[in-house]
Structure 1
Amino acid sequence: MIRASLLLCCLATPAFAAEKVPAPTYFVSTVMETSTAQMLAVRCSTLSIHLGKAALRSESVLVQLTKDGFEPSNLEDQMQDPSADVAVLQDAFVAKHNLRGTVTEDQICAAGQIEIAEGTGIGELLLGVAQ
């Protein structure tokens, strides 16, 4: 009886009881927008990352994660891998801008400029730069 009680107590501790939860939608969106904006900026010579807005976005997400009970320094132990959800959003982006197959720098730059003009989450992280 004592062993059973001790075992139940041990299993009820956070280290054993905590199951990973799905990544919050705002986290998935931010990961997708940030990684996509970076990819566009790397592949287009007339785009750059707006570092100030990127930093503010990251800070905002970390604050929200903390409010939601996550420990930002240890997310991988607390939430499920968001890669599949991010991939769905990235596929939608690729389809929206017809970026499948062989893609030119002009197409990538145009996609970035559209995102900027539309004021999307991706566009807010981008800056147009002169060559």
Structure 2
Amino acid sequence: MKKYSLFFLLGIAVIAGHAQNDVQKIKALMEQQATAWNQGNLEGFMATYWNNDSLLFVGKNGVTYGWQQTLDNYRKNYPSKNAMGTLKFTLLKLQPMGSGFYNVVGKWQLTRKMGDLKGHFTLVLKKIAGHWKIVQDHSS
């Protein structure tokens, strides 16, 4: 019985370690996004998204499918570093949704000379080829 208890506890420790590692990687992904944005680098910002036609983005103007269309929308709405401003994320909840998926809820804030913007987001991240990628983004 003690032998099984030890294996059970070791299994829980391994799972908890993987979950903590995933949370750290997702936080780093969000920092990478903010850094790229704040440098005026939309392609770097989009590197955290799944580069696929099935990427789903939901925003104030409705639903957008696809990585390229999402990038094109960002380029149209934020045509310059001035328009982009400085982005800050506040992560409110990171929750595993089964093997290889995470749900992330947070707040975003843009500080700009032309007027600040802020809102909330819900992201679905999927581990693809060992890397976390945003596969669905609902920002408002």
Query: Could you tell me the TM-score, scaled by structure 1's length?
Result: 0.31
Greater Cα radius of gyration, structure 1 or 2: 1
Structure having the larger proportion of residues in strand: 2
Larger RCO (CA within 8 A; separation ≥ 6):
1
Query: Could you tell me the TM-score, scaled by structure 2's length?
Result: 0.29
Structure having the larger proportion of residues in helix: 1
